[in-house]
Structure formats: C-alpha cells, structure tokens
Amino acid sequence: MEEMDFVPDYNEEGLEDEDTAKPVTEVADDQGATDTETEVARVMMERKRKLQLCPQPGCGIHTNKMRRHVVRYHLANEKHWFLFPSLCCWECKKWDIAIHVRLHGPFSIQQHMPLLTSLVSNFIDEISQRLEVRTSGFLDFVVRRQLGDTNSEFSPDELRVWDAYDKFVGLQIERERSLASPTRISSVLHWRTLQRLFLLADQSPSPCVSSNQDPASRAPTHTTPRPEPEPALDYIDAHCHVDRLLKVAQHKGTLSTFLNDQVIDTTGFRGCVAVFCDVATLTDVERWKELVSDKFIFAAVGFHPKNAHNFSTDAEEAIRRLLGHPKVYALGEIGLDYSGGCHRHKAVQQSVLRCLLRMAVAGNMPVVIHCRDAEEDCFRILLETLPRQWRIHLHCYTNNWEAARKWCSAFPNLCLGLTLLVAWGSSGPVDVARNIPLNRLLLETDAPYFPPREENYVPFSNPTMARLVALEIAHIRHISVHEILSNCLANTELLYGLH
C-alpha cells in the first residue's frame, strides 16, 4: 500500500476530556433582566474560549467533553458502528465499555470475553483490509503512522476490561500501557486512536457490512463492493422560537445573521418552523415582519397556553391578521399547560384553546399543540373541535409510546415532535423514538431550549441542532440517520404544506 499523506489533524489540548467551563456567576436579582442576559452572553464567550474544535473533518463542533462527543457522534454512528467492539456493550446497548463495567461489574466481563474476542478479531480484519495492511503488521502500521497518543490513557474501568481481555487471549497483563506506541491490540482500542484509524479508513475503499446483521456474527465481508457514500440530506427544524433565541443571544438581526455571526454550519439546513406565540412579538409588527422575511423562516403564530389569562380580543385580532401573511403556515403553538401553578387557569386555557382551534378550522390551517400535564383534557377538546383528518403537530412530546399511540390512532394526520430530550435520557421520548412509525415523526429543537448536554458550554440550542436529534434517534433505532432525515423532511413538508 502506498503511504497516504495523512497527519492526525487534532489539537492536543482539544483531546483533554476535562470540564473546563467556568460556572455561571450568580447575578443579584436587583440587577435586572438586562444585566442577567449580558452576564449569560459573557459567560458563553468565556466558555467558548476554553473549548476545542473537534478534529473530525467537517464537524465544526467546539466542546469541552471531547471524548463523549467523538464516541457518540463519530464512532458510534451508522457508518462505523460495527467497527468498535471496544466502545460498546451488546448486552446493555451502551456506547462505552466503562459504562458496561459499572452496570455489570468487572467479574461479569468474563462472561462476554468470547464475544468481545470475536468482535476484536473481526474489527482488526476489517480495518486492516480497509487500510490495505496485513493483519500481522497492523500494530507496526499504527506505530509508524503515529496514530497513538502520548496524552491518552485508559480509565480504571477500561483497564479492567482490557486486562481481562489480554489474560483471556493468553497475554501477560502490562503494569503500564503505552497508547502512543502500542505493543498489543488492546492498547489500540482507545477512542482517540480509533478515530484516527477511521479517518484513514475513510480514505480507502472497503467492503460494507449490513446494518441489519446480528452484531454477534458480524464478520468482515470481502466480496461486496463498497457503495457510493450517500449525499448529505436536507432537514428542517419543525419547531423553534426564533424571537426568544435572538433575545437571549442579544442579537438584533435575523436568524440568518445570527447563524453567520456564530459561524454555525448550515449544510443541509433548509430552515425552521418558527413559532411566534408571545404577545410582545405579535404586537411588534415591524420586528415580526423582519424576522419572518428571513430565507430560513416558515412561520406559525399562536398564543402560548401559559399566558391564556392575558388573551384578549386585540390578541385574537392580531393572530387572525398575521395568519394571512404568505409566510405563515400554521396556527400555534396553542394548547393546555397545567404544570406549575398554571392549573389555576384551566377554564381560561380551555376556552382560549377552543377559540383558536375554531380559527384554525375557519382558515384551513394546521395546528401546533402544546400539552403539559393536561393530556386528557387536551385530547378531549381536540376530538370535539377538529375533524379527524386535521393536520396536527403535537410538539415536544414527553409521554411514552403507549400514550402517544392514542393520539396517532385518533388523528391519522398527526405527527409527534421529538427534541434533544431523547439524548438527555428521558424515558418517555426515548420510548417514542424507539417505536413511532417514521411517517409520524418530526424533528424539533424547541430552541432556545434543550441544548445538547455533550456540548454543555452552549447555554441555548439553535435550529441547526435538529440534526443532532436525528442522530440520537438513529442510535436508538439502530438505523441510518439518512433514513430519519429523509422521512422527517417529507413529514414536515406534508404537514405544513411547505414549498
């Protein structure tokens, strides 16, 4: 094999997996909301200066949790997930061998050694074939190309696993491992080294392995040609609050200027359904028109149920007038919210919801529904008010699939929106993500809420993070992220009638 011109492109400091972010400084109540927002912006910039850029080409993410980011978004993805026995546990479906130890205990590792050994062997065969090196010369290749790392070391839990592996295959346990110049296969199976190996492998042709194959029997296939890479697919964030996002970011322009100023990658980003449901925005018509004129905006207007006690005839007329704008595609968000102290206004919320649902029917507009701690009442009112075939977006759904199935059965054109709560480990959204038919799923960020926890320097989310929701759902379902993106794009366009 001819040597490839490849030098590991990474920042040494960026591979330190330490939380370098400073805590947010507390701001006294009497400083006011403006001072608080200024402090948030200052802390955000301070944190960003402490972050490192992911070394994966084309990623563009800055993070202070590099290990977690690389494992979740680059190693444990639909492209490479059959290639990293060191990073996953087929029993508990976790992407980290250290989590395996904590869940099952170090002694139960012995039960999985035959499977782990088989996976390691298959991995070495496969990656060696991709790199066009002999299996017997694999370690020399890693050392010669300097794919190890002097800053790397295994965690205590990982060491237990790989010491047990070495003993199982007949090797003496090393007191000190060299991950920079590995002398055994187990010392190669560190996330940083694996990432560099995959970067090299991506530059070489190789066979593919079916993602439907049983993980325990995954062996390298030497006869099937590698398919052409799938093109990057477009996506739309089906629900966000652009006005709130720009306010908390203290940005006076539009979404496009914000994304440009923040140097946020918009590859494949077709836009977002921007929901305007705050009185301040609805009554500031000039600012509203400026926001919806942006190329990335498909608008929806409504009235948030938490503010239902402030609903007035003026607000009703403002919504009715804005529904006639050519860039408004839905009425919402509207609904019921009994969480916190809002249950005191149940009757008012229900009255406002019925009023706005009738307005949607009269204008033939899809509706965006917000429902918190009020599913029984909300479901009943929609059944009483809307035709069964109405297009409904049940936004930021947090209950489980059993509850969601009732909505889907009653309204055949209803779709459920999932946010990055699926990555936060929330049981309800994860259950829905695992079971919902793909033709009923929407991706949403609900920006500026639910920022990704792996990039915890981010004080708020933005609409381009809808692709992260797709990645998480792809992980949960063990299918291609392209399948998620293509289905959700079609669902969003159909439900909202986007052009």
- Whether 199 and 301 share a structural domain: no
pLDDT band per the 50, 70, 90 thresholds, residue 215? very low
Find all residues with CB under 8 Å of 140, minimum gap 6, and list them.
Answer: none
Range of the domain at 489: 235-496
Mean pLDDT of 366-388: 97
Q: What is the pLDDT of residue 385?
A: 97
When divided into structural domains, the chain yields a total of: 2
Mean pLDDT of 144-164: 78
Looking at per-residue confidence, does 295 or 179 come out higher?
295
Q: What is the pLDDT of residue 190?
A: 80
Q: What is the pLDDT of residue 456?
A: 47
Could you tell me the pTM of the whole model?
Answer: 0.60
- Whether 183 and 289 share a structural domain: no
- Look at residue 17 and tell me whether its pLDDT is greater than 50: no
Select from 131, 125, 126, 77 the least CA-distant residue to 87.
Answer: 77
- Whether 101 and 203 share a structural domain: yes
- Whether 341 and 488 share a structural domain: yes
- C-alpha torsion sign, points 197, 100, 433, 19: negative
Mean pLDDT of 42-54: 64
- Whether 160 and 212 share a structural domain: yes
- Look at residue 343 and tell me whether its pLDDT is greater than 70: yes
Q: How far is CA 470 from CA 111, 155, 448, in A?
A: 34, 30, 18
Whose tokens are 């991706």? That residue is: 443
- Whether 196 and 181 share a structural domain: yes
Q: What is the pLDDT of residue 161?
A: 76
- Look at residue 231 and tell me whether its pLDDT is greater than 80: no
Mean pLDDT of 407-412: 96
- Whether 330 and 267 share a structural domain: yes
Mean pLDDT of 272-292: 95
**Across-strand partners of 443?**
418
- Whether 396 and 468 share a structural domain: yes
- Whether 87 and 104 share a structural domain: yes
Q: Give the CATH number, domain containing residue 264.
A: 3.20.20.140
Q: What is the pLDDT of residue 278?
A: 93
What confidence tens digit (pLDDT) does each residue in 26-39 have? Answer: 444 445 555 666 66
- Whether 205 and 317 share a structural domain: no
- Whether 251 and 187 share a structural domain: no
Q: What is the pLDDT of residue 105?
A: 52
**Across-strand partners of 417?**
442
- Whether 336 and 359 share a structural domain: yes
Q: What is the pLDDT of residue 41?
A: 64
| % of the chain at pLDDT higher than 90 | 45
Last residue of a domain, one of 177, 194, 229: 229
